[in-house]
Amino acid sequence: MCGVIGLIGTSQASSRALRGLSLLQHRGQDAAGILSYDDSGFHYVRNLGLVENVFTPENMASLTGEVAIGHVRYGTAGKSELRNVQPFLLNFPYGIGLVHNGNLVNFRSLTQELRTKYQRQPLADSDTENIINLFAEGLAKNVQKRTPTFEDLCSSVDFVFEKAIGSYSIVTLVAGFGLVAFRDPYGLRPLVMGKRREDTGKTSYALASESTALSFLGYDEFEDIKPGEIVAINMEGMVERKILRTREHRPCMFEWVYFASPTSEIEGSPVYKARIELGKKMAQSVKERMAIDGIEFDVVVPVPETARIAAIALAEELKVPYREVLIKNRYITRTFILDSQDKREQAVHLKLAPVLSEIKDKRVLLVDDSIVRGTTSRKLIELVRMAGAKEVYFAATCPPIKHPCYYGIDFPMEKELIANNKSLQGVEEELGADGVIYQEVEALKEALFPEKKITPCMACLTGQYPTATDGVKDLVKTRNEDRSAYK
């Protein structure tokens, strides 16, 4: 999972990209980069680390031009090395910069095909380099033209759709043309466009992984880029768009459950509202378990930050006091997306401190967004017990995650998923909880899309994947190799 942004039609393109990336920082903390373009060519800054550490007043001054793209990285393909930091850049044909949010299932086989069939030599260890090479190969067919036409761009993107299997929301910067954005035919990863009336009277455009990054920059009239759609915006501000290929729309449910900012709206479903509904619907499952076990809770305690909204709604439905008594150390990053199990386990105790007076001798209902590996959940339960809780139950607003994700959430291996081969009782014993309560799958769907117009991707819950999964063995092997480099 990553965050992407692109802006065109303003001399503040790079500075807005910087602010936008800061607002997308929750989507990845491994690395960050910005690429801009003007008449003198491309201008480039990228490095490992947080946005605030990568960019300085000095290097930002070099990012001139009225068009820019940017990226924050959370690696799911390729090691945490400078060569894998986006934007990626190619100089033929034209000059192409590209940022990508998603994950390719056929990463390894596609790399081999690019080398043997198209004589292209990917140098990085990233599926994003496959996408930029496919896009460039499609454009190379019409390289005799000074700048590509919209039809040329459509042909190039369709070539990517033909070859790339997986999730990808893309923003490209094509030298001499402008911005080109597209989204995989299933719409697995989000991508939104907005526009803004500048003081000059000119209209500028921006694209980003989440609407929150654009609204804080003064953009409005948001539109989700549709699955299988290309949107091209040239340097004169002309916008052309076309749907090239479509499948059943399957946006990832984990965006609402965990990843996206509560200030964002995705596919017409506000994240904040969805999390409220997740809490309300969770109440029914909790009440059923309370009746079975004969338990009454003294306090509902959220696991910061993501679960807070749902926990408030759940507490209101249960008529049980809500207390924020796990106090977060603001300087510790999100534990789920740390790059090794050891780091995640160490981070939990550093990240949260319990308020002993509010936990001692209480029957506590802990609420979190999900249970993936069980690492964080187990440590949290241990922490609350050490604080003197009489009983500890654990409620997850996401149903049991039993299957790997191959589309950009970093759990591609079945063996690491606590619910994969354990019964509910087995999960409770492993976590050390008096009880574990999961959200129901249908309740999740209704919370995200009450009008049932869209069925989100829930492959990690059901094992039903929207795309072919022929390359997953290579994908898992590669991710194992990447992780071993962190140890």
Nearest to 271 by CA among 215, 194, 326: 215
Kindly state the helix (H) or strand (E) to which residue 92 belongs, with its residue range.
none
What are the C-alpha distances in Å from 278 to residues 74, 154, 448? Answer: 26, 39, 8
Whether 94 contacts 79, CB under 8 Å: no
Task: Answer for the pair 411, 382: CB distance below 8 angstroms, yes or no.
Answer: no
- Separation CA 436–CA 173 (nearest Å): 48
Nearest to 460 by CA among 195, 47, 167: 167
Residue 323: φ, ψ to 5°: -140, 130
What DSSP character marks residue 85? P
Strands 96-104 and 88-90: antiparallel
Candidates 2, 398, 457, 460; catalytic one: 2
The residues facing 99 across adjacent strands are 171
> How long is the chain?
487
Strand pairing category for 239-243 and 31-38? unpaired
Tokens of 240: 């052309």
2 is catalytic: yes
Whole-angstrom Cα distance, residue 192 to residue 226?
Answer: 9
Helix or strand (DSSP H, E) at 16: helix 13-23
User: Any idea which residues carry the catalytic annotation?
Assistant: 2
